[in-house]
Amino acid sequence: MNKRYKNKMQLEILSKSNNEAFARITVAAFAAQLDPTIEELSDIKTAVSEAVTNSIIHGYENKEGIIRINAYIYDNILRIEIADQGKGIEDIEIAKQPLYTTKPELERSGMGFTIMDNFMDNLKVESVVGMGTKVTMEKKIAVKNTNDEKNQEENFYV
């Protein structure tokens, strides 16, 4: 990462489905320092959930492995990197197509990358077959106008 960040966090979890919620909540707690709206926070949590679930189900399949999550804050942007050392993706462009899934028997929707792409401002997927996948997402958090709040407070007391 070449941008100077204000804050950073790292998390490593085992590729167990019950760790998905922990990852989602941890990243949301880290993002909270940017004072996101409930909608922005919900988008972040959903995107993290999708990326971690992909690592568990597709990356490691039925094997146990490590999922690494790095999050950075710079300016008013949250950058999240979620990486595994699983089986990798043969064709990223095909995998990113809506409704595409390699596990139809699991009744998955095949919308993981589409959801990540729609809920975040930037999405980058890097993968090497046999070595793993790294998903990088960014979300720009709207800056609140604190002057409006001050003015409303001042007008309240007039």
Q: Which residues are catalytic?
A: 50, 54, 108
List of residues 6+ apart from 4 with CB closer than 8 A: 74
Whether the Cβ atoms of residue 45 and residue 24 lie closer than 8 Å to each other: yes
Residue type, 149: E
Tokens of 41: 């926070």
Whether the Cβ atoms of residue 69 and residue 82 lie closer than 8 Å to each other: yes
User: Quick one: which of 70, 82, 80, 67 has its CA closest to 41?
Assistant: 80
Exposed, middle or buried by CB within 10 Å (0-12, 13-18, 19+), for 88?
middle
- The CB density around residue 17, as the number of other CB atoms within 10 Å, is 10
